[in-house]
Amino acid sequence: MAKYIYQHTNWTNFHWQDHAINTVFGEVRNLQGKIIGQMNTVGFSIKEEANLSTLTLDVVKSSAIEGEQLNYDQVRSSIARRLGMDVAGMTSSSRDVEGVVEMMLDATQYYMKPLTEERLFGWHSELFPTGYSGMYKIEVAKYRTGEMQIVSGAMGKEKIHYHAPAPQYVKSEMDNFLMWFNSENNLDPVLKAAIAHFWFIIIHPFDDGNGRIARAITDLLLARSDKSTDRFYSMSSQILNEQKQYYAVLQKVQHSSGDITEWLVWFLNCLKNALIETEKSLQKVLLKAEFWNINEHTAINERQRIVLNKLLGDFVGKLTTSKWAKMTKSSQDTALRDIYDLVDKNILEKATSGGRSTHYFLRLNQKK
């Protein structure tokens, strides 16, 4: 069987081919700057909402990669509370949600703090507050003392995808990793994020939670690259979309003798895709900001505001009176009055098809 990368002498002297990564690296840095520039043109509340949405998405998707489904509203409420944001519809959150939110916010809001063993152990204990991962008791807030294999398949027919370094080497490997992390200042933080992610995954220092912690480390370094605690794009969300390729490239490069070009190319392209997705959703954010800017002095009641924000966001299908009533928990008569009021104000327009298929759409060609 092919050697693992960590079985080579000086395995952490990673190298790569610059010509293979330069173009995509430049595109990533350009997109990052463009998105931050665009976000700086919108008002504080829009920026705050975009940051909250991204952080929520990041937490939910990072857990989803591990097959754990967290409640979106609980995650959003937990983040909002911790950031001191006044958000409508706050819900209480379970302990597992609070823990993963705590880790993510510590990584992104305190991105300039050194990464230490104590900090990592704190993150680990936040992820596993009960000392259990599902039904299994695990070692929490300390490096693993047992062998670590990544296995799939039914019992008796298991396939070993990876065998991590033996437990007696974990502490020295992590000391080496942390020393590099806290002293290497010549590398661009985006490249450093890619290397740190790979390096940490190869060591696999914990009994469980290695993937989520690797992604938190990545987010910490991406926050450094943006020089901002505000997050407007989600790497975890994109990794989930490209999960198959993520595992395939890790599996391939884990047998490298030190050349990690293929991993860097994949990581940078994944990040580029995350930024492109953000750019698309940012257009909606900017559209929403422009709409409310135009209508800042228009009398709009709370029900109308709820539906308009939906229409400016993730609304799917046609807006009918019954949908309005359902969204605002109001009667059909009230819904119709609200709709006619917005038609009179040139905010909504009635579609030409009438009868049972009567529906309305948002007019976006308004002028201030």
Domain 301-362 has CATH 1.10.10.10: yes
Q: Which of 146-160, 192-206, 235-249 has the lowest mean pLDDT?
A: 146-160
- Contact assessment for residue 112 and residue 134, using Cβ atoms and an 8 Å cutoff: no
pTM of the model: 0.85
**CATH architecture of the domain covering 5-288:** Orthogonal Bundle (1.10)
Chain segment 59-68, per-residue pLDDT in tens: 999 999 999 9
Q: Mean pLDDT, to the nearest integer, of 237-245?
A: 97
- Sequence spans of domains, the chain: 5-288, 301-362
Phi, psi dihedrals of residue 362, rounded to the nearest 5°: -80, 135
Chain segment 201-231, per-residue pLDDT in tens: 999 999 999 999 999 999 999 999 999 999 9
Question: What is the rounded distance in angstroms from the CA atom of residue 146 to the CA atom of residue 144?
Answer: 6
